[in-house]
Amino acid sequence: MSEDIAGSSFLGTNNNFFLPESRTMSFAVEEEDPWSAAGFDPVNDMRQPLTQSQTMDEELVTEGITAANVLVGVDLPEVFDTAYIRAGPVGDRVSVEALEVIIGLGGLGPRLFEQIAALIVPSNAMYVTRNEFNTGLALLGFAQKNMELSLLKVYQHRNDLPIPLLSNLNNISIKRSNPLMASNTKPKRRQSFDDDPWRIASTPPATNNGFPYQVNDSMDVAIAGRNTNDPTVLVSTGLDTSNQTSDNDTSTATTTKSTIPKRFVPVDVITDKASTQALVKASTESYQWFLDLDQITVTVAEKEGFLFTHINYWVHSNQRQTSVRRRYSDFYWFWETLLKRYPFRVIPNLPPKKISGKDKVFLEKRCQGLSRFINCIVRHPVLKNDEEVITFLTEQTEFLAWRRAKSPNLDEEFERVNPQTEELETFIPKDLDSRIEQIKSRLPSSIEKYDTLCSVMEKTIRLKEARAVEMRLYSDTLKELRDVEHQCFVPNCQACGQVVRGYENVGTYLSNGSSIIEAETASAVTGVLENLKRHRDISCSFLEMLDRKSKLDANQINALYKKISTNTAKVNQNRGVPGLESEVERLDTTIKADTEKMIHQQRRDTYIRYCLASELSYLHKQQAFVSLLYQNYVHEQLQYARRTVDNWKALEALLCELPKPEDFS
């Protein structure tokens, strides 16, 4: 609609409002002046007062006009609202840098922004208000029409503003930053780790994070070279001697308290540094992750089979530009695979399985559920890079045959990644457990509220759909009434014929209004409603992930710690005693095996905590989608409201031609 308005109002050849002003008027006057042949021009004495008066009038008009009030109360084109949203406003203000980006979409070069900024940006200001932003866009439209750039021109044409042309506006997304907090004069304070309670920092802090660990020179030091009756020998194995007690006041450590030992990080544990760096990068570069999102659509392909039919679905990836055909069983296999490979990640659930009764409504809801599931996967900063995810979205062969031919690695994430956990420890918040307990107690109530929101939105959509149906029925009935009353029973009655023709106009525009409502409801179903359900599903999946964690994170760290301590004490007592060499060797072998096992379990425990911290950050980042959800919803509602108003205005203009009461006298 906006393009039509732009074409009819500002691109027409007969419209002179936005043509450049003539610069040759004074010469034309001189040519037509009959006194020009003489050596003087008596009209000049009359021109000066007129020009001065005109200047005074312009000063009076523009005296109170500013960029902040020149367009107040004006019904602006839709592109003004869209550009404002894309500029990333904060508190009804847009940074000057964002304004420069938007003005640059006009394609007229950086010098134009300097001219516009001089007119609308207050002195030394770092931001502009929404009204000033709108004035800047209006000036951009003037520049694109080769008109004079001034607030007076904006005031004169405030009711017929040219629509600025902004290329690739829908692809622009400017990161929001509070302009009031920005300052070039004050040095930036170094951000501490706890400044953002939900953030997983991209640069690890230099301080210890509550998980002490002992770095040994080698594993040999941990199991050999022990001094007899030396209580400090436990330090070399990473065991905390401060927790040891002695029997009968002797110096030999024989018993231990039941406490979690310090972290073991021996140098001979082979880890994958590249995988660790990629993991941290995927989890912490939140803004880049937010911009690099794929959109997956799932639609019904066809039914197959005779006695036992099944449905095929097309899975299309916008980012990869691939379309593959999958069955529900393929989705189910894919879901089970991800649960085994990533037990400590947020894995959304699939829509329920159904044997029979797969009607159109059921298939539509299933497609929506499958779409929510796969989009949650590809929007996860870690899962989206999994090789099985990529295969599921790109493998063109029949997927059941591929599954039988190639069995994926079902080891859990820690075993496959083999990360350097000593680096990951620095990314785990010190109060992780309290945060988990807080969100665990809050999420059930939040999920319940989102269930209510989804239910209310579905009812609202159904009411609008019913209204669209009734409007279309009213329109059809009016047209039928036109056929019944097309001829008046009073001879030579012209007024009734005009009324009957009005039926057709009213019916046509009611039908148009019904189409607008249908488009609005369709947009709400795929937009705000699906996003509400997606946020609810992620919250449910987070709770399920916590349940899996409680079942799968069991370890024997304390038991192994006690066993190693006991055997270490025995070795210290028996080393050097004649006849016990084989027993000492056996205990050394046992200590080494138990130490390696405990180190492995400690590393796994650290990695599980890191995954929890990452998923907690991921859950927190979903609030950004909630913000976009409502911004887009309000923007769409504004678009459809404007279309509805335009529809009623057009009908109002047509109904002005209907006969008045006196025409029936």
SS3 (DSSP) at 602: helix
Of 157, 180, 206, which closes a domain?
157
For range 187-205, the mean pLDDT: 40
Q: What is the pLDDT of residue 512?
A: 94
Domain that includes residue 545, residue range: 445-664
- Cα distances (angstroms) measured from residue 324 to each of 82, 329, 393: 34, 14, 7
- 237 vs 451, which has greater pLDDT? 451
**Tokens for 288?**
């880049």
pLDDT tens-digit series, residues 59-82: 545 567 888 888 887 888 888 888
Question: Looking at residue 320, which CATH number applies to its domain?
Answer: 3.30.1520.10
In which band, very low, low, confident or very high, does the pLDDT at 439 lie, cut at 50, 70 and 90? very high
Interacting residues of 51 by C-beta distance below 8 A, sequence separation 6+: none
DSSP string of 555-593, one letter each residue: --HHHHHHHHHHHHHHHHHHTT-TT-HHHHHHHHHHHHH
- Cα distances (angstroms) measured from residue 257 to each of 527, 559, 563: 57, 11, 12
Residue at 225 is within a domain: no
Number of C-beta neighbours around residue 520 at 10 A: 21
For range 628-648, the mean pLDDT: 90
For range 476-501, the mean pLDDT: 84
Choose among 608, 623, 605: nearest CA to 545.
608
The answer to whether residues 449 and 360 belong to one domain is no
Is the per-residue pLDDT at 249 higher than 50? no
Query: What is the C-alpha to C-alpha distance for residues 178 and 5, in angstroms, rounded to an integer?
Result: 35
SS3 (DSSP) at 39: coil
The crossing angle, in degrees rounded to 10, of helices 432-484 and 530-552 is 150
The answer to whether residues 596 and 459 belong to one domain is yes
Q: What is the pLDDT of residue 245?
A: 39
Q: What is the pLDDT of residue 158?
A: 84
For range 588-607, the mean pLDDT: 91
Q: Name the burial class of residue 602, with classes exposed (0-12), middle (13-18) and buried (19+) by CB atoms within 10 angstroms of its CB.
A: buried
The crossing angle, in degrees rounded to 10, of helices 360-378 and 530-552 is 60
Residue at 311 is within a domain: yes
Sign of the alpha-carbon torsion through 497, 503, 505, 508? negative
Percentage of residues in the chain having pLDDT higher than 70 = 71
Residue at 276 is within a domain: no
**Tokens for 58?**
């312009």
Percentage of residues in the chain having pLDDT higher than 90 = 33
The answer to whether residues 515 and 383 belong to one domain is no
Choose among 450, 615, 454, 620: nearest CA to 544.
615
Segment among 7-11, 440-444, 505-509 with least mean pLDDT:
7-11
The answer to whether residues 411 and 462 belong to one domain is no
**CB-based contact 324:394 (threshold 8 Å):** yes
The answer to whether residues 462 and 392 belong to one domain is no
The answer to whether residues 473 and 610 belong to one domain is yes
SS3 (DSSP) at 157: coil
Q: What angle do CA 541, 544, 546 make, to 5 degrees?
A: 115
Question: Looking at residue 508, which CATH number applies to its domain?
Answer: 1.20.1270
In which band, very low, low, confident or very high, does the pLDDT at 234 lie, cut at 50, 70 and 90? very low
- Mean pLDDT for all residues in the chain: 76
Asked whether the whole model's pTM tops 0.75, one would answer no
Residue at 434 is within a domain: no
| Max avg pLDDT among 118-132, 184-198, 344-358, 479-493 | 118-132
The answer to whether residues 594 and 539 belong to one domain is yes
Residue at 179 is within a domain: no
Is the per-residue pLDDT at 529 higher than 90? yes
The answer to whether residues 355 and 498 belong to one domain is no
Q: β-pairing, 253-256 with 213-214?
A: unpaired
Residue at 550 is within a domain: yes
Q: What is the pLDDT of residue 110?
A: 83
Is the per-residue pLDDT at 534 higher than 70? yes
The answer to whether residues 601 and 480 belong to one domain is yes
Question: Looking at residue 86, which CATH number applies to its domain?
Answer: 1.10.238.10
Q: What is the pLDDT of residue 486?
A: 78
Residue at 378 is within a domain: yes
Residue at 644 is within a domain: yes
Q: What is the pLDDT of residue 1?
A: 43
Interacting residues of 33 by C-beta distance below 8 A, sequence separation 6+: 41, 43
Query: What is the C-alpha to C-alpha distance for residues 257 and 664, in angstroms, rounded to an integer?
Result: 105
Is the per-residue pLDDT at 251 higher than 90? no
Choose among 575, 565, 477, 491: nearest CA to 228.
575
Q: What is the pLDDT of residue 350?
A: 93
Per-residue DSSP letter, 661: G
The answer to whether residues 577 and 455 belong to one domain is yes
Of 157, 191, 214, which closes a domain?
157
Q: β-pairing, 263-264 with 213-214?
A: parallel
In which band, very low, low, confident or very high, does the pLDDT at 423 lie, cut at 50, 70 and 90? confident
The answer to whether residues 506 and 654 belong to one domain is yes
Q: What is the pLDDT of residue 349?
A: 93
**CB-based contact 279:382 (threshold 8 Å):** yes
The answer to whether residues 360 and 490 belong to one domain is no
Of 131, 157, 183, which closes a domain?
157
Overall number of domains in the chain: 3
Half-sphere exposure of 416 (CA within 13 A, CB side): 13
Is the per-residue pLDDT at 228 higher than 70? no
